[in-house]
Amino acid sequence: MKISVCQINSIVGDLKGNKQKIIDGYRKGVNDNVELVVFPELALIGYPPLDLIEKKEFRKAVMNAAEEIAKKTKNVGLLFGSITEDDDQVGTDVHNSALLCFDGKIQFIQNKTLIPNYDVFDEMRYFDSAKRVDVFKFKGEKLGISICEDIWNDSDYWCIRRYSNDPVNRLILGGATILINISASPYAYKKREDRREMLSVLTKGNEIPLLYVCYVGGQTELIFDGASMCFNKNGDLVKMGKFFEEDYFIFDTKINYPKIEIVERSFEEEIIDSITYGLREYCKKLNFKKVLIGLSGGIDSAIVTYFAVKALGKKNVNVIMMPSAYSSKGSILDAEKLVNSLGINSNVIPIQPLFDNALKNLEPIFNDTTPNIAEENLQARIRGLYLMAVSNKFNYLVLATGNKSELAMGYCTLYGDMSGGLAIIGDLYKSEIYHLAKYINKEKEIIPNEIITKAPSAELKENQKDQDTLPPYEFLDKVLKMYLEENKECKEIIEELGDDKDVCKILNIVDKNEYKRRQAAPSLRVSTKAFGYGRRFPVVQGWRKK
């Protein structure tokens, strides 16, 4: 069968725009003389739609739009993701569905069977599971249609499965001759390789070709990388969509294509592309033309500024340098050097006058107390005040500059350096930030080497260094990764690292600072476990006490 794959970027709730993309892709497939045109999961409404699904008026509009799309079809098939409803008065009565249309009608519906309820997925809140799994005869083939999670449960690949039910195996037993999975699977580094391996095992073991058609785009913190995959019956990946952009290509099951070997690039290449794409998508879909960054002369704000320029162009990136009495001469010079290197707009607003005045006004309350973190955080909050004032005046999106290590440890100031609409490096550990900086500089110095080599410091008091408060980042990040992404506890981490110094203390600090992260800007997700609604840890808890 000759099939066109339409890897599109839907906007959540934009029924008019999404509908037109589906119609345009279908017409292109018809002109290319294909037999079937396939779009991703929930292509008509965007993913994830969240509580929009609970609005009756929205659901009705979706049904009408799906019918309008179906009326445009002729003898060429059209398969796309949407929602359908039933009225059995059990559960939500709403289904995540694949709609197969031709000859002006919706001819077949396959609902999603496996409804994920982990990490960033909360589909049980909205969708009921399919009551039936059927193959559909179309143009001499038996189509085995499934939706995203349905295919992530193959017993030949997974040692431990999430579900006892295997809808794809039921399709195969039902005589399917082609498997089609429409998907909206969020990006994480190395997940693309997992997809390839899993789908290869499935197709090779059952000797059946497969199309895995993926959603692409950015939706707040979630990034969808596209990379749709087509496999022959030998389990070879033979067609693949572009990374981080829309794509259209044709897969003919009768043609012997060359095998594709590489699906994942280096960590640095993947992360640079994913974060650049995620930022660009966020700005585009929320109509932000320009961004604003507080540039300190440190590595985090430097990396954020680099990403902003790469995503939006130097004319759309503005930075403010806000030195205080504790800002080193080197940091100011380093920040200026980066501004010149990137060719961006900059302003300087010293915070010392406002800081001095604030201390004077607070003197009756502080009443000769010893200076502590309150005075340090006051400086960060003054910087946040200036950033948000400029943001309000010119409609700039403020980018928060905190990394995952700092957010984990609470080494950040609420309403200060945590101010912003998006934290683009909030899912990158500090050690990963250094790797990226060195990679960015591999051909020429873009980020000043002085920023990379100097000891990191918040510069909120005299001679301050991060390592005065935090363990060395190399050790800290190992502990954090094991705790946050691998769900290991103190004893397990100590056994694996062979070093009990600070481990339990680190975990205590992470838990204690959950209240800060609840108020943080959303972080672009590039790992398997990012802060945000994918990690739901209680603010108030007694599992681990100091």
10-residue mean pLDDT profile of the chain (546 residues): values are 98 98 98 98 97 96 98 98 91 96 98 94 95 96 97 83 91 97 96 95 94 97 97 97 98 97 96 98 97 96 98 98 89 94 96 96 93 94 97 97 96 94 97 97 95 84 79 94 95 88 91 95 96 89 74
The residues near 414 (Cβ < 8 Å, ≥ 6 apart) are 516, 519
The pLDDT score that the predictor gives to residue 214 is 97
Catalytic center residues? 41, 112, 148
Asked if 238 and 258 count as a contact pair (C-beta separation under 8 A), the reply is: yes
Output the pLDDT for position 95.
97
pLDDT of residue 515: 95
Write down the CATH superfamily of domain 289-464: HUPs (3.40.50.620)
Residue ranges of the chain assigned to CATH 3.40.50.620:
289-464
350-377 core/surface letters (b: 16 or more CB in 10 A; e: else): ebeebbeebeeeeeeeeeeeeeeeebbb
- CATH 3.60.110.10 segments of the chain: 2-264
**What are the tokens at 484?**
């946050």
Rounded to whole angstroms, the Cα distance separating 272 from 267 reads 8
Output the pLDDT for position 159: 77
Residue 85, class by beta-carbon neighbours within 10 Å (0-12 exposed, 13-18 middle, 19+ buried)?
Answer: middle
Query: Coil, strand, or helix at residue 292?
Result: strand
Q: Which CATH number fits domain 2-264: 3.40.1280.10, 3.40.1180.10, 3.20.20.370, 3.60.110.10?
A: 3.60.110.10
pLDDT at 228: 98
Q: What's residue 545's pLDDT?
A: 62
What is the DSSP code string of 102-113? ETTEEEEEEE--
